[in-house]
């Protein structure tokens, strides 16, 4: 009799636990579906075209995903198409520099202040004594590539590629057409690399660094990869699926702080004001936001606003963060 009661009690507890798990799952999926449905027909902005091939990516593609620190996936829309990671790669290479040399190297050799200026600003280099200013604008990201400890160009790339792949949990490839298209038009980034070198704030050969940086930006990822990369940060530096540690848990807060203050360039204040989450955007149309210790929200949609940030992606992430009440400073409203 006693055993029967115990078994029945246990069954009840299990059912309740399952129901909680399920209702949480249902919530995440429902919120992702709702954000997808609400913003998929938004018809504002335009693909980046200063990298000519990006203008040819179909503008209507849209993907939204939540990946939790346990590796659960809740997705809607485009999950397979491989787009170029572009500037979303920047925090991950800053992470590699932190892993190799500690966070102090990022602070002293690159900088951690937001510029309040566009991602490709040359003026920021003249205005700020740090020159590179922070690792999420082009200047600081190019400096980060130059800081990776490597004995050759091939080895520099191998490490950056290995690190991005470890974050995603699978071997990523370079979209060679994007690389060629971007490198052939890299006059602005070449100017930045040379200016940094001139000021002693680039730590390897400028043209070599530029090639590796451009290769990094041309790495192909899909929306799900981006969610996994963010979930690795949400999971304190361990990829939730492979179990591989990519960054020491002690350094994750520093990385997220830079994403919070500079992830959207001259729109970073507006982003924190409205979404309240550390995040990073790229001109390929990707955005990843991190809810520390819990999950990542990633989106892909090519049309950008003036600051170079994906319009549907920003709106979807803001909406999800609002609905789930996960803004770092309290629950922001969903729109």
Binding site for ligand GLN (CB under 6 A): 86-87, 119-120, 138, 182, 189, 217, 282-283, 308
| Angle in degrees, CA 290, 63, 42, rounded to 5 | 105
In the bound state with ligand GLN, the residue whose beta carbon lies nearer, of 32 and 145, is 145
d(CA 151, CA 216): 18
Residue 275 C-beta: closest distance to ligand GLN, Å? 18
Residue 288 C-beta: closest distance to ligand GLN, Å? 12
In the bound state with ligand GLN, the residue whose beta carbon lies nearer, of 308 and 313, is 308
Tokens of 262: 């500079």
Residue 45 C-beta: closest distance to ligand GLN, Å? 14
Residue 219 C-beta: closest distance to ligand GLN, Å? 10
With CB atoms as reference, the residue minimizing the distance to ligand GLN is 87
Residue 296 C-beta: closest distance to ligand GLN, Å? 18
In the bound state with ligand GLN, the residue whose beta carbon lies nearer, of 206 and 308, is 308
Residue 185 C-beta: closest distance to ligand GLN, Å? 9
Quick one: which of 257, 140, 248, 241 has its CA closest to 199?
Answer: 140
d(CA 147, CA 72): 34
């Amino acid at each position: 009799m006693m055993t029967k009661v115990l078994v029945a009690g246990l069954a009840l507890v299990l059912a309740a636990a399952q129901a909680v798990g399920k209702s949480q799952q249902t919530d995440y999926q429902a919120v992702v579906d709702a954000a997808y449905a609400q913003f998929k027909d938004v018809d504002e902005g335009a693909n980046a075209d200063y990298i000519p091939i990006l203008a040819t990516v179909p503008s209507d593609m849209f993907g939204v995903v939540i990946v939790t620190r346990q590796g659960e996936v809740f997705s809607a829309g485009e999950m397979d198409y491989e787009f170029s990671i572009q500037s979303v790669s920047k925090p991950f290479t800053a992470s590699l520099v932190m892993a190799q040399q500690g966070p102090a190297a990022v602070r002293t050799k690159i900088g951690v202040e937001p510029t309040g200026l566009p991602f490709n600003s040359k003026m920021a280099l003249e205005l700020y004594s740090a020159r590179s200013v922070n690792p999420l604008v082009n200047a600081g990201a190019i400096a980060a590539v130059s800081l990776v400890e490597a004995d050759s160009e091939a080895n520099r790339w191998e490490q950056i590629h290995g690190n991005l792949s470890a974050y995603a949990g699978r071997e990523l490839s370079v979209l060679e057409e994007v690389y060629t298209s971007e490198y052939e038009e890299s006059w602005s980034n070449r100017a930045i690399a040379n200016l940094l070198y001139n000021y002693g704030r680039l730590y390897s050969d400028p043209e070599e660094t530029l090639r590796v940086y451009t290769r990094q930006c041309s790495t192909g990822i899909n929306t799900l990869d981006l969610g996994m990369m963010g979930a690795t940060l949400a999971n304190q530096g361990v990829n939730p699926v492979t179990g591989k540690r990519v960054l020491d848990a002690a350094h994750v807060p520093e990385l997220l702080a830079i994403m919070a203050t500079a992830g959207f360039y001259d729109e970073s204040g507006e982003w924190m004001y409205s979404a309240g989450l550390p995040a990073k955007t790229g001109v390929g149309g990707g955005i990843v936001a991190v809810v520390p210790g819990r999950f990542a929200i990633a989106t892909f949609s090519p049309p950008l606003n003036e600051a170079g940030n994906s319009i549907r992606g920003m709106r979807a992430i803001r909406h999800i963060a609002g609905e789930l009440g996960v803004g770092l400073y309290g629950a922001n409203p969903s729109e």
